Amino acid sequence: MKNIVLSGVVAALIAFSGCSSKEPAVDDQAVNNNVEEVAPAAPEEVKPVETETVASEDSMVSSSKSEYNMNTIESKMPTIYFAFDKYNIASQMQDKIDAAAELGKNVASNYKVKLEGNCDEWGSDEYNFALGLKRADAVKKALVADGIDASRISMVSYGESNPVCTEHTKECWAKNRRVNFRLLP
C-alpha cells in the first residue's frame, strides 16, 4: 500500500514539475497585424446646465372666486386624526373630510391628491406601515363617497417614520396618528 501511494506522489511531482525552462515564443508580427491603431477620443464638451424658473403667475390656478397656488390650497387641507390602533374615521373627522372633498372638487380640481398615512411609535414597523395604509385607504373611500374621482387619489404609508411630534406623551402620540393631504400636479 505504501508503494502505491509513494509511486503516485512521485508520478504527480514529475507531471507537475515540467521539463522545460524555455520562454514561449511569441510571433510579434502576427500580434501587430491583428491590433488596430486607435487614436484616443477627444473629450466631449459638457453643456452647461440650463435652469428654468417659473414665475409665480404661472403656478396659479384660476378659480371663479379667486386665484390659488398649490401651496395655498394644500395649507387649507385638513389633517385627519385617528384613535390608537384604529383606522376607521371618527364622526368628528367627517366634517374635515367633507371640507377637503369640497376643496378637491372646486379649487384643487386640477391637482391629484396624495394621502399620507402615519402612525405613532407603538407597534412593529410592518404593522405600522400596514396601519398607515389602512388609514389612507379609509380617507380615500370617504373622499370618493364625497365625489372625488378615485383616479386622482394616490396613497402612501410612512408608518412611524414621519412623526410631527417626538415627545413620549399621549398628546404627542395622538398627533402622529394621522393622514395628511398633499397635492400633486
**The 3-state secondary structure of 63-106, one letter per residue:** CCCCEEEHHHHHHHCCCEECCCCCCCCCHHHHHHHHHHHHHHHC
pLDDT digits (tens, 9 = 90+) for 141-158: 999 999 999 999 999 999
pLDDT digits (tens, 9 = 90+) for 38-48: 555 555 665 66
pLDDT digits (tens, 9 = 90+) for 71-110: 888 889 999 999 999 999 999 999 999 999 999 888 888 8
Q: Among 3.30.230.70, 3.30.1330.60, 3.40.50.720, 3.40.390.10, what is the CATH number of 81-184?
A: 3.30.1330.60
pTM over 0.75: no
Domain boundaries, given as residue ranges, for the chain: 81-184
pLDDT digits (tens, 9 = 90+) for 14-36: 666 655 555 555 555 554 555 55
Average model confidence (pLDDT) across the chain: 79
Please tell me the predicted confidence (pLDDT) of residue 73. Answer: 87
Q: How far apart are CA 104 and CA 112, in angstroms?
A: 9
Q: What number is the average pLDDT over the span 163-182? A: 93
